[in-house]
């Protein structure tokens, strides 16, 4: 693996012990990747003591992702894997090396992948993200933003992350990955790399956050996908192709 290839970033906000659980899991599963694992403290009220950087203010999800994409691009990295701190891998280790190897095999047959995501044991919003036993991976139209692995070539090709009117980020993940799909980049959900995640576990602890985020998401998606975006996304969730082998 090239020295500057995949940067694995954990976004810290909320309880440090939650971040520590994922941080420790990755360090233990992939000890040779220690220099490629980064915890970004998004100016959390409870700082993370082992953070790579602590931001001067809370940039929220989209702002923090944009910060990482710009930073690692400027340093010559090729991919950023941006993970919520409250997920946990339930598929076999090593997690980082396995994903990187699988991604390289996929790309030999389908070309450079734009956006990749692990699958989930269950998902309350996006059924296309749920793992299917016996299948290798899924070519989807868009992915959830809990743990997107983004090609920086793809990010540059689609014009960057469109988030200025929606820093909270709800809907930004959908539109960005759909933009990658629309631009001809494969958007992948890996059935054989699975995570467990409790949605909104941190957001629920912040008074009023989910209400504001939902309002911003609605305005954001209406502006970009039209007033019937709910119908568009409902159909897009069903528009996928599963592959049985890499």
Q: Looking at residue 186, which CATH number applies to its domain? A: 3.90.550.10
Sequence length of the chain is: 246
Q: What is the pLDDT of residue 209?
A: 74
Question: What confidence category does residue 1 fall into, taking pLDDT thresholds of 50, 70 and 90?
Answer: very low
Residue 230, token pair as written in the block: 């709910």
- CA dist 137 and 192 (Å) reads 7
Q: What is the pLDDT of residue 198?
A: 78
**Phi, psi at 208, each rounded to 5°:** 80, -5
Query: What are the residues whose beta carbons fall under 8 Å from the beta carbon of 212, sequence distance 6 or more?
Result: 168
- Name the more confident of 205 and 114: 114
Q: What is the pLDDT of residue 2?
A: 47
- 203-240 burial, b if ≥16 CB within 10 A, otherwise e? beeeeeeeeebeebbbebbeebbeeebeeebeebbeee
Q: Is residue 91 part of a domain?
A: yes
Domain that holds residue 123: 6-243
- Give the pLDDT confidence of 122-145 residue by residue, as tens digits: 998 899 999 999 999 999 999 999
Q: What is the pLDDT of residue 109?
A: 96
- Provide the 10 A C-beta neighbour count for residue 130: 15
Question: What confidence category does residue 72 fall into, taking pLDDT thresholds of 50, 70 and 90?
Answer: very high
Beta bridge partners of 119: 194
- CA dist 93 and 212 (Å) reads 38
- Give the pLDDT confidence of 171-191 residue by residue, as tens digits: 999 999 999 999 999 999 999
Query: pTM, whole model, 2 decimals?
Result: 0.94
How many independent structural domains does the chain possess?
1
| Nearest alpha carbon to residue 176 among 196, 203, 157 | 157
Q: Is residue 1 part of a domain?
A: no
Residue 206 pLDDT exceeds 70: no
Residue 50 pLDDT exceeds 60: yes
Q: What percent of the chain has pLDDT over 90?
A: 90
């Amino acid at each position: 693996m090239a020295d500057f290839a995949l940067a694995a970033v954990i976004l810290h906000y909320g309880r440090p012990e939650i971040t520590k659980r994922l941080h420790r899991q990755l360090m233990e599963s992939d000890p040779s990747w220690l220099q490629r694992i980064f915890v970004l403290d998004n100016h959390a009220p409870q700082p993370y003591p082992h953070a790579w950087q602590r931001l001067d203010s809370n940039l929220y999800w989209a702002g923090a992702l944009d910060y990482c994409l710009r930073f690692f691009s400027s340093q010559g990295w090729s991919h950023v894997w941006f993970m919520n701190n409250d997920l946990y891998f339930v598929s076999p280790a090593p997690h980082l090396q396995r994903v990187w190897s699988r991604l390289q095999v996929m790309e030999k047959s389908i070309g450079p992948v734009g956006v990749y995501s692990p699958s989930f044991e269950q998902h309350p919003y996006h059924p296309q993200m749920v793992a299917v036993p016996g299948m290798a991976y899924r070519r989807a139209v868009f992915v959830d933003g809990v743990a997107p692995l983004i090609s920086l070539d793809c990010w540059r090709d689609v014009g960057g992350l469109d988030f200025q009117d929606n820093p909270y980020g709800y809907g930004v993940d959908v539109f960005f990955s759909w933009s990658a799909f629309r631009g001809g980049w494969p958007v992948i959900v890996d059935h054989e790399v699975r995570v467990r995640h409790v949605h909104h576990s941190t957001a629920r602890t912040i008074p009023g956050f989910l209400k504001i985020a939902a309002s911003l998401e609605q305005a954001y998606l209406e502006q970009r996908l039209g007033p019937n975006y709910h119908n568009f996304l409902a159909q897009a969730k069903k528009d996928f192709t599963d592959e049985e082998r890499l």
